[in-house]
Structure 1
């Protein structure tokens, strides 16, 4: 599922990398796309969460600090940093785990308002990213971390706003676990429109669809398994209701969402927005068009 990036040449590492690449296709690491590391809550979330893939036996335990768990919206900073590192790596530039980030560039690059309050919120974001502790057997870059670690190791505010409460420029040291994934290109490109998704579950479902559908036409997942993979803490009834709302909004880049109620265990179906590709795929399936017609969805083929 990784992007086919040829020629993993040796690269130079330095003490500090400046994230000032002008163009940077958004790269998302495979581990956090697959596993529910980030909280879906916009509220103060201090709940300890655990997830294990029953098939692969890969597991993860997420323990927030008193400031709360890192959220899917906090992840934007890691996406920004990781994408910049990947772009620099491909361009033959030296990189480092310690990254200097201009907050204005980060805000505008991730479709956030560069208004005054945003610079204060970044500081809270950094606190949550550093405070969220992971314990996992998920290997990145061929290395298994045998100790607990934060999503970022450290941060320091290089330049503050005039009142001293916000950050204009920060140095962020990302975890070795994430860095190993990035330098080995264990990533997928995601659509820039991801940053415009305002609902946490929409973002998470897009990541899962991108990871599991990839270049395929559709992906089906049992609704309870999807609930677990998404990291949702809602009961199944409420989760199904949220899925139905997302079906109606039809806002995910690249994919549409449908609900398959034909089986005893309901499934959520993610399918391409390309009518041509979808038609060709349904033609290959036994009773494909009949099955698709019965789905609870927004747009017919």
Structure 2
């Protein structure tokens, strides 16, 4: 199918890739074999020589999944094979539309195709050990003048992701997700959306958060970066707080819907606890 050039599109992401650290946060080619295992579920990420697919490479998968769901909702026949007009993709994911951007899209496809995922995590209630690339194949159908960048391309997303999309094992992301410029910020938003969701708050220890983000940083550097992200307060939908009174330290994620937050905190008998975090926000603004 062809993905139409649209602008106000609902941003959809599959739950499994939000939960597990599949995508690299590294700015440099990441050729490490990474394994994450918890609760009987395991993910092994095996990159190619080009390096593992990054959280920014994931944008093209989010774009494809979102448009596939939109088309299916409209009664259009869809398949894993899609054709993407690159300019609308760049605009829709808030990327530069300069010449080098079209070359970077080809590199994204190389990393997505070359990264092998081996997992027993199920999509659509189907559990089995699988090994697959994030995209099965890709083909540039229209090149830029210098023959290095893609104006249009076709790709086939993995059956694993396609099953998740077609059976609505997905969540809606805030469009401002694409405005988050740091990989860890994006990963924190994914985890917040997955675990906090429609709840008022969610807590996680920093050691477990380090695992779930897939970060390769030392714990001390990871904590410092978390502090910087908390101070910037740039995530859509959620506020982040670092609870250094807890042992081990915790990241606390709270909805930006203050009315809901106060209501739920009052019901849970945690109004003072929530208020203490909100007062920190007011002090920082002042």
Q: Considering the TM-score relative to the shorter chain, is it more than 0.5?
A: yes
Cα distance change of structure 1 residues 231 and 62 upon mapping to structure 2, 3 Å threshold: same
Whole-angstrom CA distance in 2 between matches of 1:69 and 1:146: 20
What is the match of residue 228 of structure 2? 245
Corresponding residue for residue 16 of structure 2: 31
Counterpart in the other structure of 2:4: 20
For structure 1, list consecutive stretches of 5 or more residues without a partner in the other structure.
1-16
The alpha-carbon deviation at position 169 of structure 1 amounts to 0.4
| Comparing 211-220 and 139-148, the one that deviates more | 139-148
Tell me the secondary structure at the aligned position of residue 281 of structure 2: coil
TM (norm. structure 2) is 0.95
Asked whether 1:141 is paired with 2:141, we answer no
The 1-side partners of 2:133 and 2:47 are apart by 10
> What is the alpha-carbon root mean square deviation over aligned residues?
1.7
Match of 1:43 among 28, 31, 56: 28
Task: Tell me if structure 1 keeps the 8 A contact 2:120–2:128.
Answer: yes
Question: TM-score when scaled to structure 1?
Answer: 0.90
CA–CA distance in 1 between the matches of 2:193 and 2:96? 26
Mark the CA change 1:235 to 1:100 in structure 2 (over 3 Å): closer, same or farther.
same
Tell me, in whole angstroms, the C-alpha distance in 2 between the residues paired with 1:49 and 1:20: 36
1:71 shift after superposition = 0.2
Runs of 4+ displaced beyond 4 Å: 294-297
Out of 61, 66, 78, the position equivalent to 1:95 is: 78
C-alpha change, 1:280 and 1:142, in structure 2 (3 Å) is closer
* 1:71-101 deviation line (CA, Å, top 9, x unaligned): 0000000000000000001111010101000
**Partners of 2:5 and 2:88 within 8 A in 1:** no
Q: How far apart are the structure 2 equivalents of 1:128 and 1:144?
A: 25
Is contact 1:193–1:253 with CA below 8 Å preserved after alignment?
Answer: yes
Give the aligned length. Answer: 283
> CA 1:105/1:243 → structure 2, altered by over 3 Å: closer, same or farther?
same
Structure 2 alignment gaps of length 5 or more: none
Distance across 2 between alignment mates of 1:159 and 1:42: 28
Would the aligned equivalents of 1:201 and 1:230 in 2 still touch at CA under 8 Å?
yes
Asked if 2 retains the 8 angstrom alpha-carbon contact of 1:21 and 1:88, the reply is no
Shift of residue 259 of structure 1?
1.0
